[in-house]
Structure 1
């Protein structure tokens, strides 16, 4: 980074931390980010950044036009919180019961605002346009806010040539970046199965079709999809998260409901897994003379980076914090994947591990904390990767 850029980051970093703490204290759930959206608009106005609204209800698009002609680069941050009761004791815990920024979206929004402020000051050096995409409802799987923003025409006037997203990552040391050329995060599908049979007295099972026994066999059988029906070199997971059935110890219920999640990377594996899921569920139900009602929700696709732009991001990261180590992908889902289905780009992890790693809670945990020393580093990357990408696009156009 240039000394000028470093100084601009130093000037804005305290504001980034203040913004993050304010948002952390005032979290809003998916599709309810009205106050967060207003706050973002107020900060963009304060920074002199033009913006548009009306995307996915609360989404905001900041627009920074360089004085030199060129291509378009988009930077995205998500805004929503989770339905979790915060159990931390720092001075800026959530003001609202059962609502918490336990996934770092408060930090994402704060860093993008900070990057926007710096980039707005650099308009005379920018060869093109930078879009600041503030996305609601990332946690609203399987729907998500990115598709709605796209459907609402967020890029109708300015179409990005490249798009980047960044996510705090507690498994990485503070300030370290995780960047992969291809698979970054997994597809995340959900399902609900209701097994219906004939209930009765626990002492007379022969008079029933015991759906509880059927459910037990189904849970075990579904695990054979990954172990026996799919390529063992391709990662995938089938998880049963909830099971509900029965009202008393001496009654065989007539209905049991199971809910769960399926995670994959490859579209081919995803399709095959879904086929086997339906086949096994229906056949297990048939064996036990029960009926299976299946609701299967196709969730976020896998987050697949574009190798070319992953390399640009990696080089930008090296300018800020040295070498970026190899990281393994995660099967966690991410709504940024839908942007990458439509535009080339890259999703980046930012290490935010606290100073005592043994006390680090994971994402989506009531004790989740992040190391705020990472915030100016993440802000720096957003600025650097935007500048470098515009430069590369301009060079390619002139070749």
Structure 2
């Protein structure tokens, strides 16, 4: 690991520069053409063999050790979000309405840094390390991981274990978040249109107020978590957008609302989904109206394999000290890496990237999100370390 650290230290400024270049030029899901080109260019410069064309813009770097052994995959996502950046540093987004507000620019840069160092010592590696650069993580419920697997990303090299890493602004630099099982939640989404009958505000008896019906439905949906889900389980039903109405004196004939459902356990997800449909359908029926329900099953919950979570925890402690992996709660945010974990054993890890001015740290997906770039070489070292340690365990 001293050698790995030396190699990563030697390109630390380049890792940061890659991240800033990507940050200035963010691309949305399924549009990561320039990002993909940069990844392929850097892998070529580093001498890493690569294959491309998975989920259109996905790239697979391949580092084959000169000794036989297992196969470990390391994954980084590449896409940005449709957010207008509100920061004022000198590498803010130059693409209007697009921003790396979830740290995928850092993920890509850190994996490239790890790949550089691992390629330098491949004569000492027992097995194969795969570098998976994934598009469209933010494109829920479709995502890029499933498409990459369907396109054969692991047909030739099948991972025994796969790891993903995500910047985490609530953790200080030098800390990592690792849980044995639940890390992140299932993330379903919905769009519901309530159809009533419009009319004049002064004559409500001649109409069927879609706004009143929607209000009743939204209030009732909040009872799912409070009255239908075991208090010891986790679930969230959030309405994030409502659109309807024409004027102060017009009864609206149609209202649309959108939101999300978050859970961990499959049985809880199904219970919430069933109650969601029942409440809407029966409420609409009671008001003699109509509804159009679009419910999209999103990413499944991200559930770590305990053995490899412990391996990641051990690697972090060797690299960063005994207190590197504090106990923490899972998050109900969704993550496309979950689909890799449905097919292969592995673990998802949060990397501490809290800025120095912690009180002003903005969360992920915020227009003012920032990360502490001191964490970037740590992230590269950790990816390399956990891959090498896992290969030793597999041997």
- Smaller-chain TM-score bracket: over 0.9
Work out whether residues 210 and 288 of structure 1, in 8 Å CA contact, stay in contact via their aligned partners in 2.
Answer: no
Work out whether residues 78 and 135 of structure 1, in 8 Å CA contact, stay in contact via their aligned partners in 2.
Answer: yes
SS in 1 for 2:384: helix
Aligned length: 393
Give distance in 2, aligned partners of 1:290 and 1:243: 18
Give distance in 1, aligned partners of 2:260 and 2:2: 47
Aligned to 2:337: 336
Give distance in 2, aligned partners of 1:339 and 1:307: 15
Matched, 1:392 2:393: yes
Give distance in 2, aligned partners of 1:175 and 1:41: 29
Alpha-carbon displacement from aligned partner over 1:60-87 (angstroms, at most 9, x marks no partner): 0000000000111000000001111111
Work out whether residues 190 and 262 of structure 1, in 8 Å CA contact, stay in contact via their aligned partners in 2.
Answer: yes
Matched, 1:372 2:373: yes
Aligned to 1:397: none
Query: Shift in Å at residue 175 of structure 1?
Result: 2.2
Report 1:20-169 matches (<5 A): 20-169=19-168
Work out whether residues 211 and 288 of structure 1, in 8 Å CA contact, stay in contact via their aligned partners in 2.
Answer: no
Query: Shift in Å at residue 360 of structure 1?
Result: 0.5
Work out whether residues 175 and 378 of structure 1, in 8 Å CA contact, stay in contact via their aligned partners in 2.
Answer: no
Give distance in 1, aligned partners of 2:356 and 2:156: 44
Alpha-carbon displacement from aligned partner over 1:222-280 (angstroms, at most 9, x marks no partner): 01000001111111100011111110111111111111100001001001110000001
SS in 2 for 1:28: coil
Query: Shift in Å at residue 5 of structure 1?
Result: 2.4
Task: Structure 2 unaligned segments of length 5 or more: list them.
Answer: none
Work out whether residues 188 and 261 of structure 1, in 8 Å CA contact, stay in contact via their aligned partners in 2.
Answer: yes
Aligned to 1:361: 362
Alpha-carbon displacement from aligned partner over 1:356-380 (angstroms, at most 9, x marks no partner): 1111011111111000000111111
Work out whether residues 184 and 331 of structure 2, in 8 Å CA contact, stay in contact via their aligned partners in 1.
Answer: yes
Q: TM (normalized to structure 2)? A: 0.98
Query: Shift in Å at residue 4 of structure 1?
Result: 2.1
Task: Structure 1 unaligned segments of length 5 or more: list them.
Answer: 395-399
Alpha-carbon displacement from aligned partner over 1:113-134 (angstroms, at most 9, x marks no partner): 0000000011111110000000
Work out whether residues 30 and 56 of structure 2, in 8 Å CA contact, stay in contact via their aligned partners in 1.
Answer: yes
SS in 2 for 1:270: helix
Matched, 1:233 2:232: yes
Work out whether residues 59 and 134 of structure 1, in 8 Å CA contact, stay in contact via their aligned partners in 2.
Answer: yes
Query: Shift in Å at residue 320 of structure 1?
Result: 1.4
Aligned to 2:219: 220
SS in 2 for 1:372: coil
Work out whether residues 195 and 255 of structure 1, in 8 Å CA contact, stay in contact via their aligned partners in 2.
Answer: yes
Give distance in 1, aligned partners of 2:286 and 2:189: 24
Give distance in 2, aligned partners of 1:177 and 1:291: 49
Query: Shift in Å at residue 11 of structure 1?
Result: 1.1
Aligned to 2:295: 296
